A and B are shown apart, each in its own frame.
Chain A
Amino acid sequence: MSHSPLEELVASHETPGTPFFPPFAVTPELEAEADERISHYPASKRSATLPLLHIVQHKFGYISAAAIEWVAAKLDLEPIKVVEVVTFYPGFRQSAPGKFHIRVCRTLSCAMGGSHELMEKLCELTGIDRSESDSHHHPITVSPCGKWSVEFAECLASCGTAPVCMVNDDFHDGVAADKAQALLDSYSNAQSAH
Chain B
Amino acid sequence: MSAANISYKAGKQPDPREYRLIFKNVDREGWDNSIDCYLRDGGYEDLKKALAMQPKDVTEEVKKSGLRGRGGAGFPTGMKWTFIPPNNTKPVYLICNGDESEPGTFKDRYIVHQDPHQLVEGMVISCYAVGAKVAYIYLREEFPEAALIVERAIEEARAKGFVGKNILGTGLEVEIYVHRGAGAYICGEETGLIESLEGKRPYPRIKPPYFPAALGLYMCPTIVNNVESLCHVKHIVRMGGDEYAKLGVARNTGTRILCVSGDVKKPGYFEVEVGKVTMRELLYDMCGGPKDGRTFKAVIPGGSSAKILRCDETFKLRNPDGSTRDLNFWDIPMDFDSLAACGSMAGSGGVIVMDDTRKISWVLNNLNSFYAHESCGQCTPCREGSMWMKKISDRLVAGEAAPKDIETLESVAYQIDGRTICAFGEASSWPVEAMIAKFREELLADTNPDQEGVPHNPETFAQQRYLQHS
A44, B101: Cβ atoms closer than 8 Å: no
Interface residues of A in 128-170 (CB under 8 A from B): 135-136, 153-162, 166, 169-170
A135, B199: Cβ atoms closer than 8 Å: no
Residue among B91, B202, B352, B374 making CB contact with A109, cutoff 8 Å = B352
A59 beta carbon closer than 8 Å to chain B = no
Interface residues of A in 99-123 (CB under 8 A from B): 103, 106-109, 111-112
A108, B182: Cβ atoms closer than 8 Å: no
A85, B201: Cβ atoms closer than 8 Å: yes
A159, B201: Cβ atoms closer than 8 Å: no
Question: With contacts A50-B181, A50-B196, A109-B352 known, is A159 near B91, CB below 8 A?
Answer: no
B198, A109: Cβ atoms closer than 8 Å: no
A171 beta carbon closer than 8 Å to chain B = yes
A46, B106: Cβ atoms closer than 8 Å: no
Interface residues of B in 339-366 (CB under 8 A from A): 350, 352, 354, 358, 363, 366
A46, B267: Cβ atoms closer than 8 Å: no
Residue among B106, B183, B201, B262 making CB contact with A91, cutoff 8 Å = B183
Question: With contacts A47-B198, A85-B200 known, is A155 near B103, CB below 8 A?
Answer: yes
Interface string of B197-217 (1 = CB under 8 A from A): 111111000000000000001
CA of A51 to CA of B177, assembled, Å: 12
A88, B358: Cβ atoms closer than 8 Å: no
B369, A135: Cβ atoms closer than 8 Å: yes
Question: With contacts A91-B141, A107-B304 known, is A48 near B199, CB below 8 A?
Answer: yes
B104 beta carbon closer than 8 Å to chain A = yes
CA of A43 to CA of B216, assembled, Å: 13
**Residues on A with beta carbons closer than 8 Å to the beta carbon of B376:** 88
**Residues on B with beta carbons closer than 8 Å to the beta carbon of A127:** none
B379 to chain A, nearest CB (A): 15
B268 beta carbon closer than 8 Å to chain A = yes
B354, A112: Cβ atoms closer than 8 Å: yes
Interface string of B83-117 (1 = CB under 8 A from A): 00000000100000000111111101100000000
Question: With contacts A49-B199, A51-B179 known, is A159 near B369, CB below 8 A?
Answer: no
Interface string of B135-148 (1 = CB under 8 A from A): 00000111111000
CA of A22 to CA of B217, assembled, Å: 36
B68 beta carbon closer than 8 Å to chain A = no
A53 beta carbon closer than 8 Å to chain B = yes
Question: With contacts A88-B201, A90-B183 known, is A135 near B106, CB below 8 A?
Answer: no
B199, A109: Cβ atoms closer than 8 Å: no
B299 beta carbon closer than 8 Å to chain A = no
**Residues on A with beta carbons closer than 8 Å to the beta carbon of B259:** 159-160
CA of A42 to CA of B133, assembled, Å: 12
A154, B354: Cβ atoms closer than 8 Å: no
**Residues on B with beta carbons closer than 8 Å to the beta carbon of A136:** 373
Between B181, B183, B185, B376, the greatest number of chain A beta carbons within 10 A of the residue's beta carbon is seen for B183
A154, B180: Cβ atoms closer than 8 Å: no
- Nearest residue in A to B390 (C-beta to C-beta)? A135
**Residues on B with beta carbons closer than 8 Å to the beta carbon of A91:** 141-142, 181-184
B142, A47: Cβ atoms closer than 8 Å: no
A50, B180: Cβ atoms closer than 8 Å: yes
A160, B268: Cβ atoms closer than 8 Å: yes
**Residues on B with beta carbons closer than 8 Å to the beta carbon of A106:** 366, 369-370
A108, B367: Cβ atoms closer than 8 Å: yes
A175 beta carbon closer than 8 Å to chain B = no
CA of A125 to CA of B373, assembled, Å: 27
B269 beta carbon closer than 8 Å to chain A = yes
B218 beta carbon closer than 8 Å to chain A = yes
CA of A109 to CA of B268, assembled, Å: 12
B338 to chain A, nearest CB (A): 23
**Residues on A with beta carbons closer than 8 Å to the beta carbon of B199:** 44, 46-50, 75, 81, 85
A122 to chain B, nearest CB (A): 18
Question: With contacts A112-B262, A159-B105 known, is A54 near B180, CB below 8 A?
Answer: yes
Question: With contacts A46-B199, A157-B100, A160-B269 known, is A92 near B304, CB below 8 A?
Answer: no
Interface string of A68-91 (1 = CB under 8 A from B): 000000010000010011001111
Interface residues of B in 218-276 (CB under 8 A from A): 218, 259-263, 267-269
A40 beta carbon closer than 8 Å to chain B = yes
CA of A169 to CA of B142, assembled, Å: 8
Question: With contacts A50-B182, A158-B109, A160-B267 known, is A43 near B370, CB below 8 A?
Answer: no
**Residues on B with beta carbons closer than 8 Å to the beta carbon of A103:** 142
B79 beta carbon closer than 8 Å to chain A = no
A65 to chain B, nearest CB (A): 18
**Residues on A with beta carbons closer than 8 Å to the beta carbon of B179:** 40, 47, 50-51
CA of A85 to CA of B217, assembled, Å: 18
Question: With contacts A153-B142, A156-B142, A166-B142 known, is A84 near B201, CB below 8 A?
Answer: yes
B183, A89: Cβ atoms closer than 8 Å: yes
CA of A43 to CA of B135, assembled, Å: 12
Interface residues of B in 122-181 (CB under 8 A from A): 134, 140-145, 177, 179-181
CA of A112 to CA of B262, assembled, Å: 6
Q: Can you show 30 pairs from A to B with CB atoms below 8 A apart?
A: A40-B177, A43-B134, A46-B198, A47-B198, A50-B181, A50-B196, A54-B180, A75-B199, A89-B183, A90-B183, A90-B373, A91-B182, A92-B182, A92-B183, A103-B142, A106-B370, A107-B366, A108-B103, A108-B262, A108-B366, A111-B366, A112-B262, A154-B101, A155-B104, A155-B185, A157-B101, A159-B106, A159-B261, A160-B269, A169-B145
* Beyond A107-B304, A107-B367, A154-B370, 7 additional pairs, beta carbon < 8 A: A41-B177, A136-B373, A153-B142, A154-B101, A157-B106, A157-B140, A159-B267
- Measured CB to CB, the residues of A under 8 A from B are 40-44, 46-51, 53-54, 75, 81, 84-85, 88-92, 103, 106-109, 111-112, 135-136, 153-162, 166, 169-171
> Top 7 closest A-B pairs, CB basis?
A91-B183, A91-B182, A49-B199, A159-B261, A89-B182, A109-B261, A46-B199
